[in-house]
Structure 1
Amino acid sequence: MLSRILQPLVKKQTLKVTMLGHSGVGKTSLLCAMYDQFDQIIGKTNLQLTPDHDTKTILDQRLKQLKESAQQNSIKIRGGLENTTTARTYNFDLGKTGQSPSLELQFQDYHGGYILRKKETVINYIKESVAIIIAIDTPALMENNSRWHEELNQPQIIYDLFKSGFAELDSPKLVIFAPVKCEKYLRKSNDEEELVTKIQKKYSNLLNFFCSDALVPYVAAVMTPVETLGSVDFAYIEEDENGQPIWFFRKSDPNELYKPKNSDQPLRYLLRFLLKLHLQKRKMSFIELIFIMMERDKTFLNAMSEFSNGCKNNRAFTVFQGENLLRIN
């Protein structure tokens, strides 16, 4: 009855996603890879992801930089490719191919300095978001006994944000740990296992927090590495005159160009999570209209279901907790 009454009022709904990570970690590169590879990866599922004008302008510029970088045999990085210096929103329309979009995905990006200056703003966005993606600089985590992990990935600050953002949580959330610049560590199964172990160790306070009695029914936490260049492996680190790291990367194959891998996985998990909540008929005010829209648009629902079936869950792709919030029978 409610669905029939509200159907004429239900238009495109907004789904918020928070991007967390220090400046230069690779959040924008992650979005670029998702944007660039989406049509190629899921063209058969009849879903269409379309950025708005401002998002397309920014990502096309970053995508050009990434492709130019991938043409070089070696890359030297001091804190990323043109770090994002302000809070920025990236908007994508998602819908069935050839039809009006059903959802707007709104990715909110914050750089490290903004997180410190505008903490309450970030916390409020976390509260409003159905999913939070934690971008992780993988070489900083894995190399030199994680010497630069605290500085570059800021795990304690992220933990503090979640403690406030998830206080009194009463509706499910998806948290995605997304290691980027991770190509080197996905070549061998032993390296993949070490990457999973390092994430569990270095983010143990956050994972333990999610496992608390109050949160465990509501939080799904997964790890989905994304090779944002695909063709370039971490090589070594040098320190400048101030003791700051300079990161060097080399192409594994000189003939390979820009070739991101697994950039579809965060979105697949997001849509799988949303589908599960829909199937469970969860009553959550901030996405209840989305559920009504999904019930109305069966073709979009089917396309989402087909796409979400491609979630990886092996080796470095790990569900830390909340499998019940992701399992679709």
Structure 2
Amino acid sequence: MPQELKIAMLGPTGVGKTSLLTAMYEQFENTIGKANLQLTPDLESSAILQERLGELKSLTDNFEPKGGIEGTENPQSFIFAFGKKGVKPSVQLHFQDFPGKYLDKKSPLENKKFVEELLHECVAVLIAIDAPALMEDDGKWHDAINRPQQITNFFQRTYQDMNSPRLVILAPVRCEKYLQDLTSANALLKSVKDKYAKLLDLFSSDALLPWVVSVVTPVQTIGTVIFKDIREIDGTPHFYFRKTGHDAEYSPKDSEQPLRYLLRFVLKLHLDQKNWGFFNPIRVWLGWDEHLKEAIRQTASGCKSTWGFTVIQGEKWLNIK
């Protein structure tokens, strides 16, 4: 039975959690898969991801105002077996997605409790950030769409008395406009640090600094669309995008980076050989031969650290040399 590691997908309605996970999976073979590794979804996850991938690819033909796909209606588990190609997997990655509307003020209390419990039990959290909302009009729509204070409050309630490492990935999505050159990429990174300053300050507190790894990994979710403008209708923003060319097709960029950082973190925990509760080293050791560890090392070496990518804190939990 593979060791299961749980990863929470965190973000409000319409931010793009499911789009990010779909792009991450779709690009695996062309990136991480070249290291003789495979990521195999279970039957349910495979069916959902195939439908989502079709929706994402169709966006280059017919944009919706938000430039994304419909959000999740119910909590969804995406379960992947991970390991060497052609070998029984030794690790299972369990990504837990939930409807962004669970964070709305009108959402029942049990929905918010569901999110809180999710953060308690997951070894890693992937926070999807709507980049245009973060960057445009000096972040006018950032609080309304990305809800950074509420997300910070969730971590304040759940990250207490910690005694085991956790990975938090801040992943701005729909970043095509903001990664055209080094200057704009650095501006994006600065905005993430500024607009999530309260969250990052929490992570850097005396109690959490030894345990929390935080990184920023911007993703070009479709790759061939650029943010165009915002049209405010009855006080509600509508985001519009344009294609980079008439024949431009779905071509995400850097969507595998969050997974590279996650695998780097997991390998470090394995090499550390301590029982962290969620990660039993004896069981995992039996299924991790030197070839698998070397393949993950090779994958981890592809983690980007410039052009808007950075490790904010906790690099010791990523050091696998």
Structure 2 length-normalised TM: 0.94
Preserved contact between residue 8 and residue 96 of structure 2 (Cα < 8 Å):
yes
User: Residue 58 in 1 paired to residue 51 in 2?
Assistant: no
CA–CA separation in structure 1 for the residues paired with 2:293 and 2:32: 15
Cα deviation for residue 296 of structure 1 reads 4.1
Change in Cα spacing, 1:79 to 1:312, as seen in structure 2 (3 Å) is closer
Alignment of 1:106-185 (within 5 A): 106-115=94-103, 117=108, 118-185=111-178
Residue correspondences, number: 315
- Helix, strand or coil for the counterpart of 2:28? helix
* 2:223 equivalent to 1:230: yes
- 1-structure distance, mates of 2:217, 2:276: 26
The 3 A distance-change label for structure 1 pair 296 and 57 is: closer
Does residue 68 of the first structure (1) align with residue 58 of the second (2)? yes
SS at match of 1:95: strand
Could you tell me which residue of structure 2 aligns to residue 26 of structure 1? Answer: 16
Distance 2:64 2:100 in 1: 21
Q: Distance in 1 between matches of 2:271 and 2:33?
A: 25
Asked whether the 8 Å contact 2:3–2:283 carries over to 1, the reply is: no
Contact 1:138–1:179 (8 Å) recurs in 2: yes
> What SS does structure 2 have at the residue aligned with 1:66?
helix
Cα offset, 1:320, TM superposition: 0.7
1:105 and 2:97 correspond: no
Once the 2 structures are TM-superposed, how far is the Cα of residue 78 of structure 1 from its aligned partner?
Answer: 4.2
Cα 1:244/1:158, change in 2 over 3 Å: same
The residue that corresponds to 1:293 in the other structure is 284
- Given candidates 300, 303, 307, the residue that maps to 1:311 is 303
Where in structure 2 are the equivalents of 1:200-211 lying within 5 Å? 200-211=193-204
Unaligned stretches of 5+ residues in structure 2: none
2:73 maps to 1:85 = yes
> What is the distance in 2 between the residues matched to 1:36 and 1:76?
21
| Stretch moving more, 79-88 or 93-102 | 79-88
Q: In the alignment, which of 263, 266, 274 is matched to residue 274 of structure 1?
A: 266
- Paired with 1:236 and 1:42, the residues of 2 have a C-alpha distance of 34
Query: Do structure 1's residue 250 and structure 2's residue 238 form an aligned pair?
Result: no
2:83 match: secondary structure: strand
Stretches of structure 1 that go unaligned for 5 or more consecutive residues are 1-10
Alignment partners' CA distance in 2, 1:134 and 1:191? 21
Cα offset, 1:295, TM superposition: 5.1
Q: What is the CA-CA distance between 1:114 and the residue it aligns to?
A: 1.8
Q: Which amino acid aligns with 1:56?
A: S
The worse-fitting range, judged by mean Cα deviation, of 260-269 and 274-283 is 274-283
User: What is the TM-score when the length of structure 1 is the normalising length?
Assistant: 0.92
**Aligned-partner SS, 1:40:** coil
Mapped contact 2:179–2:307 kept (Cα < 8 A): no
What is the alpha-carbon distance in structure 1 between the residues aligned to residue 277 and residue 4 of structure 2?
Answer: 13
Percent identity between matched residues is 45
Deviates more, 1:95-104 or 1:199-208: 95-104
Contact 1:230 1:258 in 2 (8 A): yes
Deviations 1:122-155 (A, max 9, x none): 2222121111000000000000121111111111
User: What secondary structure, in the 3-state scheme, does the structure 2 residue paired with 1:38 have?
Assistant: coil
